[in-house]
Structure 1
Amino acid sequence: MHLNECIKRVEAYLDKSDNHPRVININDIESLKIFKEHFKVGENIFLDVSRYSTDDENPSIDKLLNDLSILDNNIFLTEISTYLKLKGDDEVSWFLNHVLHSSFNNKVIVICYQCDRNLLISDGRLNRLIYNVESKVTRAPDLVFVKDFKFIPENQIHVVGIENLANVIESYDVDKIYVNTKKNKDNYKHSIYNIIEQNSPFKILCSKDDRTNLLDESMGSYEQWINALEKINIYGSWYSFISKIIGSCNGLDNFASSWKYYDENKRWIYFIALKLFGVENNWCLSKAVKNSKNENELERNIYRCLLDEQFDYKSKGFWDKYSERKQLLEAWGKNAKEINDYCNIVKSKGENIIYFLTDITEEEKQLIFEYLDKNADDSNEKEILEILKNIYPDLFYYLSPFWFDNHLLDEYFQKYKYQKVANKIFPEFKKLVEKQALERDFNLLPARASKIEEIEKENIALYFIDALGVEFLSYISEKCKENNLLTSTTVCVCELPSLTRYNKDFIEDFSSKGSKLIGGKKGIKDLDDIKHNGINGYNYENTKLPIHLIGELEVMENIIKKIDTDLSQGKYDRAVIISDHGASRLAVINKNENKWEMQTKGEHSGRCCPKNEIDEKPDFAIEENDYWILANYDRFRGGRKSDVEVHGGASLEEVLIPIIEITPKKDNIEITLITKKIKFSVRDKNAFIKFYSTYKINDVRVRINGTMYKAITKDNQTFKVKLPDLNKAMKYKVEVYSGNNLLQDDLEFEAEKEGFATRKLF
């Protein structure tokens, strides 16, 4: 029948004395709405099934049936069939059959929704009680059960609590209704409706933002996806959310330096951002992201991104990728487990291990020293330095040449430093040491006291660094350059024996004239402690590798940083570094005791001995201050076993000490080449260049084609440099130094031989 006819029949029923119920079946929402609106008048009672439920619970059918029996007035029962469909067809059929076979004290109209098949009654007597309205059929929605309201996408039809579901089904023509309920699909195993359980925040995110489909649910924990869902409910999309939290979705590699400052949740968001929006300008990060399933794997894959690649280790391409990885690891911070695992894996690289190590961690630095111990020799120094320049710059700076303006010292300390790092003594160098033990050319150098007298001591800071030898001068110069500081260095000779008690008179001189003593009168003992006491595991009995140099370089770097800070804050005008004596590593690894035995046991590592304990002058010994002092690498028997390094003797590394004056560099020093094009004669050796400085500078020299030349000046502003070695017509680069301070390296001149002109073919 049509809806209008149904309405007329119900009106007629309400006017009769017939107390048998009527069952109305309507298949579309619009007709259902019209029917209800028509009868919501007067004293008619509309009973909704939700009235018989508590929060998120199924209704009590017994209470409902009881009310049908006792309530007065006309009763319109709604939503019952829709609710019972959750229980299954049998439940719907049972209830309708029960009602149809009942009689009541009042008028009862049961409004059913889409129950055609449940009302196929075989008893013809009951058919008169059933009114089927002919109409189109509204689609049946899928029901999506969610346990958290956050899982409901925006602008979706939803209901809170299972008790309210029937009303929504009968009110909205939609494909899907979200139900926020604690109920499970298993509670409604026979449901006519298709029930979907959607308690995965990840799947909800997929429906909210299509980009989520680029991810895998395993990339985050339940809690992480929940958090993301909450934020995307606020910001609307991954793009907006990530832009707010990280800063942008573009150029994500630029935010890698912030990784170590991110908390755990922000690291995960950054990882998801990388997965969703990719990396354009960083090979290492891009590869690591591709191979990672979570943020923890991301860190691991950054560590390991070089391991499975095939490289020409000397190519620029390799070092570019190496640098990318190193910068990322520095940004990431240290992860003890990943570092340990990586170091164990990288050992499989054999002789190529050096190319996979950095100076970021102590563990890797120690592996570098293991490699040098096995592979560094007197034939591959240049190659080793080129590698260290990339992987361990501080060690490279230490090994770099320092120009002493003295051929012996230039050669000696360059070889000494390399052997200290290589952990071996080359035969030719040992001959040089023993030659100097006899010739003692260090006596030609000034005594420390004579040079200290020349230092202006007011408003300066004195850094008395115990056991600082001249071997560190190249490193100190480079670190000062990094901090925009200038050094003026004088190499002197300490008092013999090279022990602190004979070499600290200068402290009172500085103290009495107003200098600030950094570390007090005892000075800074960090280097000496490393050499003597084997702190931080740097103990010769534990390891024969020179890993103590790691700590020594860190000590000096921290001192230079403090000097820079104090000078920039105007705490004093200059800093002066002075040492009492140097120390020798090679005397330790030489492991040779001479035939003479000391009576006073355990002193000075056997490098010196009181004269009264030995009746004759030992070989290679110097007599000074009632001591016999060894100038080669021998030790007296009975001396204290050395931990790392020794002093007390008279090798060059023990007796030569630096005086370093450090000042801030002027920002606007400018060097201008006056002679940009010269002509020269190879026979007459008459080549020279001239240049000009905007400020007066001292101790000026230039490096051209790898050779150092001293500059001549009368006013410390205009300089001339003779180049007797020049023999090729070409363009030359010029580096200008003040002492060992590089001032400018972008100068260039062109040299042309006299009587010849370069023929330009193009």
Structure 2
Amino acid sequence: MRSLDVIQCINDVASYCNNVSTGFPLIIDTEDYDLFHELIFRLRIDVAKKFIYVSDFCKDDSIPDIEQAYSSAFADGIHVLVGLSQACMLQSQSVLQEYLDRAVNETCREHTIILLMHCREYLQKKCRQDIRLERRIKFLGNSTQPLPQIIIEHNPRYAKGTTYNSIGDLLSSLEQMTNETIKDSLMISLVTRYSSALFNKAVYSVSQGPESFDVLCQEYPFFSGCLSKENGTEEQWQWLLERLEKESFEKIIADEFKVFDLEICIGDVLENNDPGSNLLWLYWLAIRIQGTSNSYLNKAVKDIKNQLELERSIYFSILSVDVDEEDFGQCYQERKKLLDKIKDNKKISAQFCNEVGQKGRKAIFYLTDRTSDEQICAMKWLSYYDYTTKETNEILQRVLPQVFLYMDTFTFNESIIQVDDEVLAGELTDYFTEYKKQKVSNKIQEDFLSKVDKIAEDRPYNRLLGRIATFKNLQCREDSPYFIDAMGVEYLSYIKNKCKEYGLITEVRIAHSELPSITSLNKDYIDYFHDTCKNTKELDEIKHGVNYYDYEKIKQPIHLLDELAVIDNVLKDIRMKLSQGIIKRAIIFSDHGASRLAVINESENGMIELEEKGKHSGRCCPIDDDPQIPYATYENGYAVLANYERFKGGHKAEVEVHGGATLEEVLVPVIAVTTMPDRLTYAFENDSIERKGNEKTKLVLFCNREMNKPQLRVKNKFYSGKLTVDNKHAEFILDDIKRKNKYVAEVYDDNKATGIELQFEIIKKTHEVDLGF
């Protein structure tokens, strides 16, 4: 197979084009760039020939559409295809062979000339296999020029040799390369977004040039110690490198965030993050390098490879720390501090609450009060597992502070229950303390069920005053009435604690509602207050499942959070109107309470089947005569259950139930609320008491105003004081408090909770022994 010179090739092309089509393309290959271009130059003299360059089939720095270029060369007319071999060699040897095989065997209607480079060895092998191919495969010249080396660059400043900014430009240069250009430099740089991996099978030698991160680490070695290339994109490293040429990294951070500690601006950075900006990435990078005073934020940053997962990592990184590890407490507090600074992400928060379940019983210790999702999750967990009293208090204080105030023990006394019966007051204190624990844990203890059954028979509520009598005792007809539907006495500790927080004084009384404990039979307050009450129905609606709560779907008492929120909103309204002088005193009261335990007990009394299905959830039944049912009373034409059963056929309660005669359904609070007087001062004259022998503990309370009936509540017990001198001093004998310890006393006056707590301490004198020295 002989080699031809340019003139001979031109003659062969002329003969091929001037005669009738052979039905096959004419293929000319050379390995000399100058001969290749001289041939093209001479062929272009004939304007009848249409040249098709594969480089023209590249769009927006994409790889060329070789197939479209190849197909175009076989259209009607005379076509010259240039760049096929160069384009194929950019991809792989197999692609090159595929198109060479097609070109050798392709048929055409008219005339197609294919100009190739550096394909001689493969084409000569084809000719040796089939000698007839020598008539349509020609070889131009004998000299061989080397293939160029291609270097992929992402940053044009590092490019070497001749530089091109797109694959199309590179391919065009390969189509037009001369012996002189290859002699000057074998190296060609392609600046592109693509990685060199795209060309890892190319026939050309293609390598990756130094990337911005590599240059960054060379010029600023401190980056290499804490970062890797995967921590940013090439564009981000390039952007940073360009900025570092003008100012130091520390100055860049100071200019962008304008704070000494990056923890401070976490909320602003996340909220104002523009997807097209490098701000969040720079923030994440700065923490990786410089750190913050918040060690948990440092951990959250180091747990992820880039800034995209920063917000999620702030929520989730704590799951890699066990609650028993020494630094868990610090991680917990620092995480909560961060969550307080950022906007609540409902999606991530819900995901966290779902995945925290992997911690089993310990999951609840990871939750905070920062999001409603976490609080609901905590309420569920309290019913999943049994926690010690210490654990429960820790959980409530940390995660459910409103529930913690609700669970606080409310101590009843004779003044509150309006009956001279200290035993009954103590029983009510114990009853509602236990009731709340079981409502929150969603479990009923057997001994409590027995207690409820006994109370159902004894019915001690009959000894308490009714609502109107209680109103008269408080002399509140001219006060501002606040009616909260279905608010039982279980909420007294919450109300008292919130009033203390808001600087309000409360005076509490307990009354009984009429049976059955339904609204229609407990509207006596309307006439008493001349229908001027501010009515709050939301609490009752929650208990009836007007919202999405439904015991059949969600067994856990998560509705309690909304119940407390309803009451809190009422207290805030009262605080506002008292402080502005719109009202002088508020009276909070209800028509009846409700029972959660009667719902979760899920027990039916089969002695009566209700005809009116859906009425009062089966807690009472209209009937002509007393049916003589154990644990039930007959009042106002109704059989009323006083235990935790419901009559058969009654509609199951969605959340809580009323209509029955349990203490939580029947007893209702009446609370007078006023503001604390200005400059009111209470103090102990002797807050450090030295006890000797069997002496009784004596405290003297001072007030800068005259007191009426001073009391102290210490460890859930009330102590009455004896006024002395000017009625601004009161002496208290705490006969059963003897042990050396520190104590907290809550101050009451005239049966009103002042919201003031004072500390005192009992110490025992150490006897000194004279050794005679």
Separation in 2, partners of 1:205, 1:269: 15
Do the aligned partners of 2:375 and 2:399 also contact (CA within 8 Å) in 1? Answer: no
Indicate which of 514, 518, 521 corresponds to 1:499. Answer: 518
User: How far is the alpha carbon of 1:304 from its aligned partner?
Assistant: 2.5
Do the aligned partners of 1:686 and 1:722 also contact (CA within 8 Å) in 2? Answer: yes
Separation in 1, partners of 2:580, 2:769: 57
Matches within 5 A, 1:404-415: 404-405=412-413, 406-415=425-434
User: How far is the alpha carbon of 1:731 from its aligned partner?
Assistant: 5.0
Do the aligned partners of 1:220 and 1:294 also contact (CA within 8 Å) in 2? Answer: yes
User: How far is the alpha carbon of 1:668 from its aligned partner?
Assistant: 4.3
Do the aligned partners of 2:164 and 2:190 also contact (CA within 8 Å) in 1? Answer: no
Separation in 1, partners of 2:574, 2:430: 30
Match of 2:357 in 1: 347
User: How far is the alpha carbon of 1:643 from its aligned partner?
Assistant: 0.7
User: How far is the alpha carbon of 1:224 from its aligned partner?
Assistant: 6.8
User: How far is the alpha carbon of 1:607 from its aligned partner?
Assistant: 1.1
Q: Please tell me whether residue 294 in structure 1 is matched to residue 306 in structure 2.
A: yes
1:733 is matched by which residue type in structure 2? Y
Matches within 5 A, 1:242-253: 242-248=253-259, 250-253=260-263
Aligned length: 574
Separation in 2, partners of 1:450, 1:608: 25
Indicate which of 418, 439, 462 corresponds to 1:420. Answer: 439
Tell me the alpha carbon deviations over residues 635-665 of structure 1, each in whole angstroms, 9 at most, x when there is no partner: 2222222111100111110111112233344
Q: Please tell me whether residue 578 in structure 1 is matched to residue 585 in structure 2.
A: no
Indicate which of 550, 569, 577 corresponds to 1:539. Answer: 550
Secondary structure at the residue paired with 1:641?
Answer: coil
User: How far is the alpha carbon of 1:686 from its aligned partner?
Assistant: 2.9
User: How far is the alpha carbon of 1:466 from its aligned partner?
Assistant: 0.9
Tell me the alpha carbon deviations over residues 239-277 of structure 1, each in whole angstroms, 9 at most, x when there is no partner: 4454344331x2222334556654445655543442343
Q: Please tell me whether residue 451 in structure 1 is matched to residue 470 in structure 2.
A: yes
Q: Please tell me whether residue 271 in structure 1 is matched to residue 284 in structure 2.
A: yes
2:313 is matched by which residue type in structure 1? N
Tell me the alpha carbon deviations over residues 447-486 of structure 1, each in whole angstroms, 9 at most, x when there is no partner: 2212223556699653311111111122222333333333
Do the aligned partners of 1:576 and 1:662 also contact (CA within 8 Å) in 2? Answer: yes
Match of 1:480 in 2: 499
Secondary structure at the residue paired with 2:362?
Answer: helix
Match of 1:593 in 2: 604
Do the aligned partners of 2:161 and 2:188 also contact (CA within 8 Å) in 1? Answer: no
2:292 is matched by which residue type in structure 1? V
Secondary structure at the residue paired with 1:306?
Answer: helix
Do the aligned partners of 1:605 and 1:642 also contact (CA within 8 Å) in 2? Answer: yes
Match of 2:404 in 1: 396
User: How far is the alpha carbon of 1:346 from its aligned partner?
Assistant: 2.2
User: How far is the alpha carbon of 1:540 from its aligned partner?
Assistant: 1.2
2:342 is matched by which residue type in structure 1? W
725 and 217 in structure 1: CA distance in 2 versus 1, 3 angstrom threshold? same
Tell me the alpha carbon deviations over residues 65-85 of structure 1, each in whole angstroms, 9 at most, x when there is no partner: xxxxxxxxxxxxxxxxxxxxx
Secondary structure at the residue paired with 1:403?
Answer: coil
User: How far is the alpha carbon of 1:610 from its aligned partner?
Assistant: 1.6
Match of 1:654 in 2: 665
Separation in 1, partners of 2:479, 2:256: 48
Separation in 2, partners of 1:320, 1:404: 39
Tell me the alpha carbon deviations over residues 190-248 of structure 1, each in whole angstroms, 9 at most, x when there is no partner: 57599695988878988998877665565456787798789889x94554454344331
Deviates more, 1:663-672 or 1:590-599: 663-672
Separation in 1, partners of 2:700, 2:617: 52
Tell me the alpha carbon deviations over residues 668-691 of structure 1, each in whole angstroms, 9 at most, x when there is no partner: 4433221245455665x6321112
User: How far is the alpha carbon of 1:734 from its aligned partner?
Assistant: 3.4
554 and 306 in structure 1: CA distance in 2 versus 1, 3 angstrom threshold? same
Separation in 1, partners of 2:255, 2:752: 49
1:586 is matched by which residue type in structure 2? L
Matches within 5 A, 1:20-169: none
Match of 1:436 in 2: 455
2:288 is matched by which residue type in structure 1? K
690 and 459 in structure 1: CA distance in 2 versus 1, 3 angstrom threshold? same
Do the aligned partners of 2:483 and 2:536 also contact (CA within 8 Å) in 1? Answer: yes
Do the aligned partners of 1:464 and 1:579 also contact (CA within 8 Å) in 2? Answer: yes
**Stretches of structure 1 lacking an aligned partner (at least 5 in a row):** 1-142, 153-174
Q: Please tell me whether residue 720 in structure 1 is matched to residue 739 in structure 2.
A: no
Tell me the alpha carbon deviations over residues 598-629 of structure 1, each in whole angstroms, 9 at most, x when there is no partner: 232221111112232x5623222223222222
Secondary structure at the residue paired with 1:462?
Answer: strand
Match of 1:637 in 2: 648
Separation in 2, partners of 1:580, 1:731: 43
Match of 2:561 in 1: 550
Secondary structure at the residue paired with 1:312?
Answer: coil
Separation in 2, partners of 1:502, 1:546: 28
Match of 2:393 in 1: 385
Separation in 2, partners of 1:226, 1:474: 62
User: How far is the alpha carbon of 1:583 from its aligned partner?
Assistant: 0.1
2:590 is matched by which residue type in structure 1? S
User: How far is the alpha carbon of 1:396 from its aligned partner?
Assistant: 2.0
Q: Please tell me whether residue 306 in structure 1 is matched to residue 318 in structure 2.
A: yes
Give the aligned CA root-mean-square deviation in angstroms: 4.1
TM-score of the superposed pair, with normalisation by structure 1: 0.65
Tell me the alpha carbon deviations over residues 69-125 of structure 1, each in whole angstroms, 9 at most, x when there is no partner: xxxxxxxxxxxxxxxxxxxxxxxxxxxxxxxxxxxxxxxxxxxxxxxxxxxxxxxxx
2:564 is matched by which residue type in structure 1? L
Tell me the alpha carbon deviations over residues 18-61 of structure 1, each in whole angstroms, 9 at most, x when there is no partner: xxxxxxxxxxxxxxxxxxxxxxxxxxxxxxxxxxxxxxxxxxxx
698 and 252 in structure 1: CA distance in 2 versus 1, 3 angstrom threshold? farther
Secondary structure at the residue paired with 1:463?
Answer: strand
User: How far is the alpha carbon of 1:419 from its aligned partner?
Assistant: 0.8
Match of 2:712 in 1: 702
Q: Please tell me whether residue 357 in structure 1 is matched to residue 376 in structure 2.
A: no
Separation in 2, partners of 1:601, 1:390: 43
Separation in 1, partners of 2:154, 2:430: 79
Separation in 2, partners of 1:658, 1:203: 74
Do the aligned partners of 1:260 and 1:331 also contact (CA within 8 Å) in 2? Answer: no
Match of 2:623 in 1: 611
User: How far is the alpha carbon of 1:288 from its aligned partner?
Assistant: 0.8
Separation in 2, partners of 1:211, 1:486: 62
Separation in 2, partners of 1:425, 1:177: 80
Tell me the alpha carbon deviations over residues 685-742 of structure 1, each in whole angstroms, 9 at most, x when there is no partner: 63211121234567754355675534444776422221111333x3533333336857
Deviates more, 1:398-407 or 1:732-741: 732-741
Residue identity (%): 35
Secondary structure at the residue paired with 2:588?
Answer: strand
Separation in 2, partners of 1:260, 1:457: 53
Separation in 2, partners of 1:571, 1:457: 16
Match of 2:135 in 1: none
Deviates more, 1:635-644 or 1:219-228: 219-228
Matches within 5 A, 1:217-256: 218-219=230-231, 236-248=247-259, 250-256=260-266
Secondary structure at the residue paired with 2:544?
Answer: helix
1:306 is matched by which residue type in structure 2? I
Match of 1:689 in 2: 699
399 and 204 in structure 1: CA distance in 2 versus 1, 3 angstrom threshold? same
**Stretches of structure 2 lacking an aligned partner (at least 5 in a row):** 1-150, 175-180, 194-210, 414-424
Match of 2:143 in 1: none
Separation in 2, partners of 1:477, 1:530: 22
Do the aligned partners of 2:616 and 2:659 also contact (CA within 8 Å) in 1? Answer: yes
Separation in 2, partners of 1:290, 1:760: 65
Match of 1:55 in 2: none
2:287 is matched by which residue type in structure 1? L
TM-score of the superposed pair, with normalisation by structure 2: 0.65
